[in-house]
Structure 1
Amino acid sequence: MTTETAPALTLPGGEMLAWSDLPTERLADGGPLAALAARLAPAGARVLLAGPHDPALLDALAHAQVTCLLRSHPDAVALADRAARVVVGGPAGLPDDETYDLVVAGAGLDAVESVEGDRLGWVGVLERLAAAVRPGGDLLLRLDNPLGVHRLVSVTPWYAGRDDAQWTVGGVLDVDRPASLDQAALRLAGAGLRADTCYAAYPRPEAATALLATGPLRRHTTSGLFDAVLHGACAGGFTGRDVLADPARLAVDALHAGRAVEVAPAWLVLARRDSRAAEPDAPTGGGPVFGTAAVGTAGPDPAGRDDADGVRAGLPVALVQTGPPAVGVVEVADGPDGWNWHTGVTRAAAPADPYDSRPAADRDPEALTGPVPEGRLLRTLLLDACLRRDTATLRRLLRGYAAWLTGQAGEGRLAGAVALAGADNLVVDDTGFAVLDPSWRAAAPLPVDVVLARTLWRFAAELTTGGYAHPWTSTLDVAGLTVVLGGVAGRDLDRATVDAAVETEAAVGASVRGLDAEGRGRLAAELRAVTPTDPPAGPRAYQQLHQAWLRQREENTRLAALLAWTEDLLTSRERALRRAEATINLLSGSLSYRVGRLAITPARLAKRGARAAKRRARQALAPKQEEQP
């Protein structure tokens, strides 16, 4: 950053002395935003970080000369030793003659302006930051979406927030603030910047773990990669949070409808100042800007324009942070032969474990090389077939998957990435099955039936706890449905194999989460206790909780009916027994019963005496037989 021993702290006035904007929730290594900013800033570049950012972003920009523009004095003191210079007080404190190669406003513009100075408004702050971009330089700006997934599923209305970070009201209520990508392009053009690349940020604006280029996101609506990334980001980003509906399901449905960009929680817009003397003309009229012209679908659109994917050359199609922090951010680059994995992280040697508790799975970042397999996600195809009660498609997919596993096995066992690839990590096309993310690998080979049962058990658990309609009876438990799915796949799975698959799932889950032996035991107990009446794991969605309550009510009604039937049966049997006892008592007191008893008693005594005599005779003859030669 700089060779100075004492970083400069500039206080031009307007600083907020008792306020902090630094994010409390932080991503490892700064997340995809830090990876993108580091790619945009060459070595020695002058970078302005406008607003509060994760301190890890400064570490990612260690090769550049970074100036931080903050409004909070405590935040400035905390970051003073990480930046070349820190300006406190808002955009008014920036010198007019200073320009930068890259200006990053990754937290939006609301947290840039200080309440202790003159108010510029959203457009005013944008114009001041745009003026700080040198000709040929870039502005990376985050825009929050007022119709994003995070708002659609939020339990608390966006206008009712009373936290310190929500003291400003954004969105459609402020006419100067853009509420869509088209409006953002107009505002940027008015400030002399031309937007050429945009990323949809998921799952939440303040903690985006996935950045997806909006052009490919609109065009590749059946992409297994985007399907898996959106589902994984939203499921993990809302885990343990109360939401109205499942955000992962909403995001994936929006992808298939071609609307994943429109419901993205935030957008990261990359805009460049033209290096020519004349500024680009601002777009006029009400036509779409980002919707088609900038980052639209490939090929001619309804307006008759030929559009490319809208991703600047050299920038990735997707940046995703998933798995252990050591893996870092995984990128997907677009090349002549299609999409390719890219990660600059090398595999680190695993530390020696004195207790020999080798994890069941580990991740090898070096495996994320080569092309990204094309096709649709197997999980989505199976869910779709279940909802349509298409048993023929289910049979074809599951039998094809079972045959593919058998073909990959050696001596009845599977190793490497194939052993851990479930329905949420497999893509299907006309050529067959392929592992989407091959970096997760099994530490030891697993039997084919256990691998198959683990995939089917996970799908059965999601099918039942998620409330999805399917062709089979609702009285099946998760293990029973797994056995049924195994039959559809042409395999005779028993409950012992399913139990082994659940133990394997617990071991793999413990490795992914970094749990110890005790945590692994608790996880295994939780997995074995999963029932169809439970809500799905992850976010606490009211919609799914309501469906779980309905399933529990149906199960309670069924059990109550079964209990009533059992009570009626026991009552009828008890009445029959009482009638039989009464009949016996009546017969035992009659004259014929007594005469019969007197007649039978001597016969019983005679029979008993005959048996005793026969036994004594045998005992007497036994020694004589032994004395004979």
Structure 2
Amino acid sequence: MTTDTSPRIALPGGEMLTWSDRPARRLPAGGPLAALAARVVPVGARVLLAGPHDPELVDRLAHAEVTCLLRGWPDGAALAEDRPVRVVVGGPGGLPADETFDVVIAAAGLDAVESVEGTPVGWDELLRRFAAVLAPGGSLLLRVDNPVGLTRMVDAAPWYVGRDDADWTIGGALDAGRPANLDQVRDRLTGVGLRAGGCFAAYPDPAAPTVLVDTGALAARPTSAVLDAMLHGACARDRSDGPVLQDPARLAVDALHAGLGAALAPGWLVLAHRAGDSPIPAVPTPGDETGPGALPVLWAQTGPPGIGVVEVTAAANGWRWRVPGPVAAASEAPFATRAAAWRDPAVLTGPVPEGRLLRTVLLDACLRRDLAAVRRLLRGYADWLDAHADDAGRLTGATALASLDNVVLTDAGTPLVFAVLDPSWRASDPWPVDVTLARGLWGFAAALATGGYAHPWPSTLDVAGLTVVLAGTAGRDLDRATVTAAVDAEVAVTAALRGLDGADRVALADELRAVEPTAPPPGLDSHQQLREAWLRQKDELTRLAALLRWTEELLTSRERALRRADATINLLSGSLSYRVGRLAITPARLAKRGARAAKRRAKDVLAPRHGEEEQR
């Protein structure tokens, strides 16, 4: 044991002196998890943080008295160095036996508390110990990973190989000592005297979730546009994230619409409460409309810039947007440094549009090859854009960025009614309505073509050609130049949304401009999508080979016909009748040639005389 310890670090034994559990990925301000933790911890509460957590989360609990229970000495030393918290390094053996806490947070899971320097106690025993230190009326926030969740379904490496240093033991559905689904989690909580409360599905990574959704909302609103868009955006992968078996974004949306958004979530964050009275205010449940402390139904890390976490709260008249903390209207950057899009968080205060996401409805119509529905949706979308354009045919604000994945079909009657889902992103300059329409259709066409979706149009069309066809279906005449301008606009907007600049923006532009139907979706390294792209390339090569064979057969037949004609000419030129005819016309040919020569000589003689007469 080292003697160089801080007075705020306790080493009761069982500490791992060289091991660190520092999170590999950290979100700004701790992300949705830190926002949830800050909401469930009342002011002045005694809090036990069990296991490694993002230091940003610790900062969000400055209004409480925090004790951190860790197993790695480096983590404890780093935490106690610059934060006013008490740190206990010792694994489960270091749990204070004579103290109680108002809130216990184990958002890293119970396995991250076990230490190899002590005797393993198991998942159930750890839960019992944490429940025992909860004060009457206290709350437990517990993370549980899903052994058959979406992450394990799409990972290229099997979950059971365990090649990481931290995989001392590998838990899965076969381990009866830990819960494998939400019902088992609730049963175990009841077994230790706790009452299960709210539960949030964590996407896409339970260790650093960018979206937390109330499981009740997932079950009650499987076709919700905001849930569709948030889960798709959270699970969208990049090549830097490594290969996957299939597109997790597509699988997450399918699970949502099948009512399995909670069952197939990568992990859960469960709130549980101990019975009894407490001087600390009780933690509300998600969707509770009783007061300002009600928990939202959704937290989402929406990316740069301006906003960290956006909330969706439940009210009597529906769901509403909310941005935590004081929000001031964003000001546009100077023209020289202004991006194509900017964000105004002040507008995220109104109702969340209810309905289905236009991209999902249109994709369903394409898969069913329902051309009438496709035509109606696309024409309604184009008419809606035209209705918001000014007299010069230009769109401004959020409508200029209204692509199919940010538009909600709020009413499928006659006429169709649309609304922008997230109105906080706005175009810096007015856009021609044709460019906005082409950008939305190009994104959908690229998803159709590169994703391998069945659709009612020829497979030989490239992405730009399919965009033009979609525009024609919408009753609009777009040319390829407009589609090219739309791709450039997509590059600029995506760079603004992701905060890209310089080389990253150039790489993005090259990637989007090179999108072809025979290529996999841009930015996704999926084995399933790569196989589908290979099959499309195989079909294209088969078509080209058939075309080449037909061309060769055509050339061969023409060559044979030419040879037959040449043989016929040679045969006729050697016959007696041909020779007699040629001798018969030879004098006429010679006479014609002589007449032409005499005519030229006469012109040459008469030309000077005609000039002299004109001079006289």
2:399 to 401, 406, 418: 418
Q: Secondary structure at the match of 1:418?
A: helix
Q: Distance in 1 between matches of 2:511 and 2:226?
A: 29
Residues 382, 583 of structure 1: alpha-carbon distance in 2 compared, 3 angstrom cutoff: same
1:505 to 490, 493, 496: 490
Unpaired runs of 5+ residues, structure 2, are: 1-5, 279-284
Q: CA deviation at 1:79?
A: 1.6
1:275 aligns with 2:260: no
Unpaired runs of 5+ residues, structure 1, are: 1-5, 278-293, 299-307
Q: Distance in 2 between matches of 1:238 and 1:529?
A: 16
Q: Which residue in 1 is equivalent to 2:447? A: 462
Q: Secondary structure at the match of 1:21?
A: coil
Q: Which amino acid aligns with 2:66?
A: V
Which 10-residue stretch deviates more, 523-532 or 15-24?
Answer: 523-532
Q: Is the 8 A contact 1:58 1:83 kept in 2?
A: no
Q: Distance in 2 between matches of 1:492 and 1:526?
A: 26
Q: CA deviation at 1:228?
A: 0.8
Q: Secondary structure at the match of 2:399?
A: coil
Residues 238, 207 of structure 1: alpha-carbon distance in 2 compared, 3 angstrom cutoff: farther
Q: TM-score, normalised by structure 2?
A: 0.90
After the TM superposition, which residues 473-622 of structure 1 pair with which residues of structure 2 at under 5 Å, given as runs?
473-516=458-501, 518-581=503-566, 591=579, 595=583, 599-600=588-589, 603-604=592-593, 606-607=595-596, 610-611=599-600, 614=603, 621=610
Q: How far does the alpha carbon of each residue in 1:564-586 deviate from its partner, in whole angstroms, 9 at most, with x for none?
A: 11222223333444455555666
Residues 374, 608 of structure 1: alpha-carbon distance in 2 compared, 3 angstrom cutoff: farther
Q: Secondary structure at the match of 2:166?
A: helix
1:318 aligns with 2:301: no
Q: Distance in 2 between matches of 1:32 and 1:512?
A: 19
Residues 179, 592 of structure 1: alpha-carbon distance in 2 compared, 3 angstrom cutoff: same
Q: CA deviation at 1:175?
A: 1.8
Q: CA deviation at 1:97?
A: 2.1
Residues 7, 56 of structure 1: alpha-carbon distance in 2 compared, 3 angstrom cutoff: farther
Q: How far does the alpha carbon of each residue in 1:381-432 deviate from its partner, in whole angstroms, 9 at most, with x for none?
A: 0011011111111111111111111111112111111111111111112261
1:40 aligns with 2:40: yes
1:114 aligns with 2:115: yes
After the TM superposition, which residues 46-445 of structure 1 pair with which residues of structure 2 at under 5 Å, given as runs?
46-81=46-81, 82-236=83-237, 240-276=241-277, 314-324=294-304, 326-344=306-324, 345-346=327-328, 349=331, 352=334, 356-411=336-391, 412-430=393-411, 432-445=417-430
Which 10-residue stretch deviates more, 571-580 or 424-433?
Answer: 571-580
Q: How far does the alpha carbon of each residue in 1:412-461 deviate from its partner, in whole angstroms, 9 at most, with x for none?
A: 11111111111111111226100111111111111111111111111111
Q: CA deviation at 1:482?
A: 1.1
Q: Is the 8 A contact 2:146 2:264 kept in 1?
A: yes
Q: CA deviation at 1:514?
A: 2.5
Q: How far does the alpha carbon of each residue in 1:583-617 deviate from its partner, in whole angstroms, 9 at most, with x for none?
A: 56666777458645675355346435635754775
Q: Distance in 1 between matches of 2:201 and 2:109?
A: 14
Which 10-residue stretch deviates more, 6-15 or 456-465?
Answer: 6-15
Which 10-residue stretch deviates more, 600-609 or 429-438?
Answer: 600-609
Q: How far does the alpha carbon of each residue in 1:522-557 deviate from its partner, in whole angstroms, 9 at most, with x for none?
A: 433322221111111343222222111111100000
Q: How far does the alpha carbon of each residue in 1:486-531 deviate from its partner, in whole angstroms, 9 at most, with x for none?
A: 1111112222221221121122122223333554444333222211
Q: Distance in 1 between matches of 2:580 and 2:498?
A: 81
Q: Which amino acid aligns with 1:523?
A: L
Q: CA deviation at 1:136?
A: 2.0
Q: Is the 8 A contact 1:46 1:65 kept in 2?
A: yes
Q: Which residue in 1 is equivalent to 2:281? A: none
Q: Distance in 2 between matches of 1:232 and 1:615?
A: 88
Q: Is the 8 A contact 1:588 1:594 kept in 2?
A: no
Residues 616, 457 of structure 1: alpha-carbon distance in 2 compared, 3 angstrom cutoff: farther
Q: Is the 8 A contact 1:67 1:83 kept in 2?
A: no
Q: Distance in 2 between matches of 1:622 and 1:452?
A: 72
Q: Which amino acid aligns with 1:337?
A: N
Residues 443, 103 of structure 1: alpha-carbon distance in 2 compared, 3 angstrom cutoff: same
Which 10-residue stretch deviates more, 369-378 or 426-435?
Answer: 426-435
Which 10-residue stretch deviates more, 452-461 or 45-54?
Answer: 45-54
Q: Which amino acid aligns with 2:540?
A: E
Q: Is the 8 A contact 2:203 2:212 kept in 1?
A: yes
The number of residues matched between the two structures is 594
Q: How far does the alpha carbon of each residue in 1:358-377 deviate from its partner, in whole angstroms, 9 at most, with x for none?
A: 31112222221110000001
Q: Which amino acid aligns with 2:406?
A: N
Q: Secondary structure at the match of 1:419?
A: helix
Q: Distance in 1 between matches of 2:329 and 2:597?
A: 87
Q: Which residue in 2 is equivalent to 1:23? A: 23
Q: Is the 8 A contact 1:197 1:312 kept in 2?
A: no
Q: Distance in 2 between matches of 1:101 and 1:615?
A: 122
Q: Is the 8 A contact 2:289 2:316 kept in 1?
A: no
Q: Distance in 2 between matches of 1:97 and 1:455?
A: 61
Which 10-residue stretch deviates more, 576-585 or 181-190?
Answer: 576-585
Q: Is the 8 A contact 2:330 2:346 kept in 1?
A: no
Q: How far does the alpha carbon of each residue in 1:446-487 deviate from its partner, in whole angstroms, 9 at most, with x for none?
A: 111111111111111101111111111111111111111111
Q: Is the 8 A contact 2:512 2:522 kept in 1?
A: no
Residues 120, 622 of structure 1: alpha-carbon distance in 2 compared, 3 angstrom cutoff: farther
Q: Which residue in 2 is equivalent to 1:12? A: 12
Residues 314, 615 of structure 1: alpha-carbon distance in 2 compared, 3 angstrom cutoff: farther
Which 10-residue stretch deviates more, 309-318 or 108-117?
Answer: 309-318
Residues 618, 333 of structure 1: alpha-carbon distance in 2 compared, 3 angstrom cutoff: farther
Q: CA deviation at 1:311?
A: 12
Residues 609, 163 of structure 1: alpha-carbon distance in 2 compared, 3 angstrom cutoff: farther
Q: Which amino acid aligns with 1:12?
A: P
Which 10-residue stretch deviates more, 155-164 or 615-624?
Answer: 615-624
Residues 166, 614 of structure 1: alpha-carbon distance in 2 compared, 3 angstrom cutoff: farther
Q: Distance in 2 between matches of 1:527 and 1:276?
A: 59
Q: Distance in 1 between matches of 2:511 and 2:609?
A: 69
Q: CA deviation at 1:28?
A: 1.9
Q: TM-score, normalised by structure 1?
A: 0.88
Q: Secondary structure at the match of 1:22?
A: coil
Q: Which residue in 2 is equivalent to 1:303? A: none
Q: Distance in 1 between matches of 2:609 and 2:144?
A: 109
Q: CA deviation at 1:237?
A: 7.3
User: Percent of aligned pairs with the same residue?
Assistant: 62
Q: Is the 8 A contact 1:204 1:237 kept in 2?
A: no
Q: CA deviation at 1:33?
A: 0.2
Residues 603, 357 of structure 1: alpha-carbon distance in 2 compared, 3 angstrom cutoff: farther
